[in-house]
Every structure is written in C-alpha cells, then in structure tokens.
Amino acid sequence: MELLYIIVGLVFVNNFVLAQFLGLCPFIGVSKKTSDAFGMGLAVTFVMAMASFFTFAINEFFIRAGSQNVFYSLAGTTGFADAQKFILKNGLGEVLTTGVFILVIAGFVQFIELVIRKVSRPLYDALGIYLPLITTNCTVLGVALLNMKQIQPGGSWAEMSFGEGLVWATLSGLFAGVGFSMVMLLMSGIRERLAVSRLPRAFQGVPIAFICTGIMALAFLGFTGMVGGLKANLG
C-alpha cells in the first residue's frame, strides 16, 4: 500500500516537471517529437533510478555519521581514535553531498554512455547529445537530494533501516522518472499538433509550449488531495 501512495505521489501529485519545476530544460528542448521524447524519457528514468541507488548507498557508507561509515573502520585500523569519534558523531558532513553526488552521477552517465555505445549503436546515435546532457539534468540530482531529505529526522524514512531505505530510494527515483517521462510524452503529442496549427507568430514555439505546460499543471493541481484520500479510503 505504501508503494501505491509513493507512486501516486511522485507521478501525479508532486510531478517532477509540473509541480516541482525540475527537468524543464530537456522538457522544452526534447519534447518536439514523440520518438525523441520516448527515448529520452527511458534514458532519464533509468539514470534516475540507478543514480538514486548509488547516491543513497554512497551516502550511507561514506558520508553519513555512524559506525557503518567506511572511514570509521579506516580510522580505527590506522589508529586515529579522535577521527573515529568524529565520524561516529558527524560523518563527513553534509557539505560533501553536493559535490560527491554530482561526480557520482557524471561518472555513471559516462559509464552508461559507453555501455549503450557498445550494446546498441543505433540507440546511441539516436540519443546523440542528449545522453551526456542527462548529467546536468536537474531531475537526477534533484531526486538524489530529495531522497536525502527523507532520511533526515522528520522525513518519512527517518526510522527505516538501510536496506529498506535503499529500496524506497531506488523506487523513488524510478517513479519520479516515470512521472517525468509521462509528462514529456504528453507534451510531445501536444506540440506535434501545435506545430501544424495556426498561432500568432509571437507565440509559436517555446511560448505556446509553456502556456500548454501551465494548463497541464493546472490540471495536475487537481490531484492535490489524492494521497490523503487514498490513505483515508484504502489505508
């Protein structure tokens, strides 16, 4: 049941594009053709799920305070007792989160690029420049950081064990990507129709795309109470 609430929450209520304003650059840039949008959506969803997985794991073992931290055992074996106490209490500090995450994501996207190039050259050529551009996509880093927020005290996963948290983080990334891809597909369908309709010249292209996005966001506002309603009726 919790899974249903998460899915509904990420795909509809807090849709990454329409409610949280993440991933707008590729949204406007790639959604002109449905085939492009579909491929981009798949790629971004996969990267988001995997990036959430890796960043969560790296946060747990390298950054977070506590005895599971790799540096804790490292400081123990090399005899730095004060460092060990510090890591037990503070971890490496959240300041490193941004830098480490973005490097992890950049490395992972580079790796994926090589894999896709080996496995399926046509797909690699079709995605073109957009594959390396996923690194600078706000959605990937955004979902990783939002997962971090959930394990802070006060977040929904604060009481969970590492394994549980890892599963929820990966699912979070996956369904946020699904929401992003869904909206991009919808938008590409609309834009393909807009391309052949009569519009005032000033509105053609990007302006009318934003206005349509606004109307879609207005429609998605209607999902606002859904998670609470589902919980009341099903939970």
Partner 1 sequence: MEFFKQVKNGLFKENPTFVIMLGICPTLATTTTVKNAFFMALAATAVLICSNAIISLARKSFPKEIRIPCFVVVIASFVTMVDLMMNAFAPEAVVKALGIFIPLIVVNCIILGRAEAYAAKNGALNSIGDGIGIGGGFMLALLLIATIREILGNGSFWETPITMAFSPQASALVKPVSVMTLAPGAFLLLGTMFAFFKWRKMRKQEALAQTLVAAAAPWEVGPEKKKEPAGEAGPAGR
Least distance (Å) between residue 73 CB and partner 1? 26
Determine, following the binding rule CB under 8 A, whether residue 141 of this chain makes contact with partner 1.
Answer: yes
Determine, following the binding rule CB under 8 A, whether residue 210 of this chain makes contact with partner 1.
Answer: yes
Q: In what helix (H) or strand (E) does residue 24 lie, and over which residues does it extend?
A: helix 24-30
Identify whether the C-beta of residue 91 lies closer than 8 Å to the C-beta of residue 65.
yes
Least distance (Å) between residue 37 CB and partner 1? 17
Task: Output the six-digit token pair for 155.
Answer: 């977040």
* Cα distance between residue 179 and residue 167, in whole Å: 18
According to CB under 8 A, which residues from 75 to 104 bind partner 1?
A: 95-99, 102-103
Determine, following the binding rule CB under 8 A, whether residue 225 of this chain makes contact with partner 1.
Answer: no
Backbone angles phi, psi at 53, to 5 degrees: -60, -55
Least distance (Å) between residue 165 CB and partner 1? 18
How distant is the alpha carbon of residue 51 from its chain centre? 8
The runs of H, that is alpha helices, within 17-94 are 24-30, 34-58, 70-78, 81-90
Least distance (Å) between residue 206 CB and partner 1? 6
Instruction: Catalog residues that contact partner 1 under the rule CB under 8 A.
Output: 18-25, 28, 95-99, 102-103, 106, 132, 135-138, 141-142, 145-146, 149, 200-203, 205-211, 213-215, 217-218, 220-221
